Amino acid sequence: MRQLILASSSPYRRALLEKLGIPFECHAPYIKEEAFEGESADELASRLATEKALALASQFPDALIIGSDQVAECRGRLLGKPGNTENAVEQLQFCSGHPVNFHTGLCLADTKMGSHTTLCETFTVHFRNLSPVEIQRYVERDQPLDCAGSFKAEGLGISLFEKMEGNDPNTLIGLPLIRLIDLLKLYQLDPLGHPGS
C-alpha cells in the first residue's frame, strides 16, 4: 500500500482523516500563507493546499500527500485565524447577521508520478444576529482562537448559526472527506475496502 501523508499539523484535520481508518502519517509543511494581490478566497485556498502537499514531495518520493487549506470570506473580506480574544470578538461582530463562505482547498499529490489533483469545496454558514454579550460569552467558552472565522462548528459554534449550506460538513472543519475519498479510491485506497477499517 502506498504511504499516505497528511501535510498538516492541525489536530482538527488529523481527527477528520482518522475517521477513514486508513493508516497515515502527519508532517508539517513550511510555506508562506500570504495572499497574492487580487487573489480570490477559493484561489488562495487551492494554491496553499497544493503548496502544502508539494512542500513535502522531496521527503517522500513514493507517497500520496494530502494538502488542505481553508480561507473564510465574509462580505469580500478574508478572515484568518484570530489569534487572540479581541480579534475573535471583532470577527464575530463583523460576521453577525451575514453569510460566511469557507473555501477549503484540497490537493492529493502522487510524488512517484510527479502529479497532483487540486480542488476547492465551499461551505456556507449563515450567522444569527448576535449581541455583544453573546459573542463575548461564546469566545470565552469555546476559545476559537486558532480557527478561521473565530468559531468551532464541532463545538458551541453551532449556536452562532441560522443555517448551514454545503455538500460535506467536514469541509467546514477543514478537510472535505467526501471529495478526498473519491481521490483516494483512484489509488485503491477505499475506506470501506481497507483491512481494519
22-42: pLDDT as tens digits? 999 999 999 988 888 889 999
Domain ranges of the chain: 3-185
All residue ranges of the chain with pLDDT < 70 are 194-197
125-157: pLDDT as tens digits? 999 999 999 999 999 999 999 888 899 888 899
Beta strands 3-6; 25-26: pairing state: parallel
Question: Which residues have CB under 8 Å from 32's CB, separation 6+?
Answer: none
Q: Is 69 a catalytic residue?
A: yes
Options 42, 69, 110, 142, the catalytic residue: 69
CATH number of 3-185: 3.90.950.10
**pTM, two decimal places:** 0.90
Burial 171-187 (b: 16+ CB within 10 A, else e): bbbbbbbebbbebbeee
